[in-house]
Amino acid sequence: MVDTNWTIHGREFVNCNCSYGCPCQFDGTPTYGHCQAVAGMQIEKGYHGSTNLDGLKFVGIFRWPGPIHEGKGEAAVVIDERATEAQRDAMLRILSGQDTKPGATIFNVFASTFEKMHPPIFAPIDFESNVAARRGRVVVKGVTEGRGEPILNPVTKAEHRARIDIVDGFEYTLAEIGRGWTKVSNPIQFELADSYAQFAEIHLCQDGIVR
């Protein structure tokens, strides 16, 4: 049951450990059999009930020992330190998959696969995502630091452009694909190098993607 309507519209930058194509985007299994990822987002316009979420940022850190759908994952979330108490509560409800039609958003789907959720972190978030340029940056001091860049042609070194268009997805409609480097030090530890990155416009509500 959805108790409160909400909407978030903004830009994301995601880096995971898969190869550039990320088989998970095509209902395949992860490149190396397990999944590690960091996702950052800035909400340009958003609300949860009567609580305004404009301008807030958040970061999700995820790790699964196998394919995501097999569960046993752990996660940590960082919420923009500028958020008020009401905004923090609203963001945590959205990001934990609450107030959402079952299976409608990535937050709700992922929440069903976690066996461990670390306490939320409230901290300054340095975030950038230029979707068209396929460049991004996510930094939370003492927690994670990552960057995203275009894929380069191995012969000419020219920037390569590829996109993923998912018709009936639960995260984005169209994503620009690049590569990324990320180091996570707290409360989960892992490092990614020259692996899959995506840059996308995100527009979600309690019923899924807003089209």
| pLDDT tens digits, 61-114 | 999 999 999 999 999 999 999 999 999 999 999 999 999 999 999 999 999 999
Q: Report the distance separating Cα 83 and Cα 102, nearest Å.
A: 27
90 close to 52: Cβ distance less than 8 angstroms: no
Q: Report the distance separating Cα 51 and Cα 30, nearest Å.
A: 37
Predicted confidence at residue 3, as pLDDT, reads 80
123 close to 141: Cβ distance less than 8 angstroms: yes
Query: Is the Cα torsion angle 164, 110, 41, 77 positive or negative in sign?
Result: negative
pTM of structure: 0.95
Is 2 a residue whose pLDDT tops 90?
no
Secondary structure in 3-state letters for 59-120 = EEEEEECCCHHHCCEEEEEEEECCCCHHHHHHHHHHHCCCCCCCCCCHHHHHHCCEEEECCC
Rg (CA), the chain: 16
10 close to 125: Cβ distance less than 8 angstroms: no
Predicted confidence at residue 1, as pLDDT, reads 59
| pLDDT tens digits, 21-60 | 999 999 999 999 999 999 999 999 999 999 999 999 999 9
Which residues make Cβ contacts (< 8 Å) with residue 82, sequence separation at least 6? 55, 56
Q: Quick one: DSSP state of residue 18?
A: S
Tokens of 2: 């959805």
Question: What torsion do the CA atoms of 14, 191, 95, 13 make, to the nearest 10 degrees?
Answer: -20
pLDDT, mean over the chain: 96
**Residue ranges of domains in the chain:** 6-209
Is 193 a residue whose pLDDT tops 90?
yes
* Number of continuous H segments (helices) and E segments (strands) in the chain: 2, 16
Q: 23 by DSSP, 3-state: which?
A: helix
Is 131 a residue whose pLDDT tops 70?
yes
| Band of pLDDT at residue 202, cut at 50, 70 and 90 | very high
Mean pLDDT over 187-192 rounds to 98
Longest Cα separation, the chain: 54
Residue whose structure tokens are 């940056």: 137
Consecutive H or E run containing 15: strand 6-16
CB atoms within 10 A of CB 174: 12
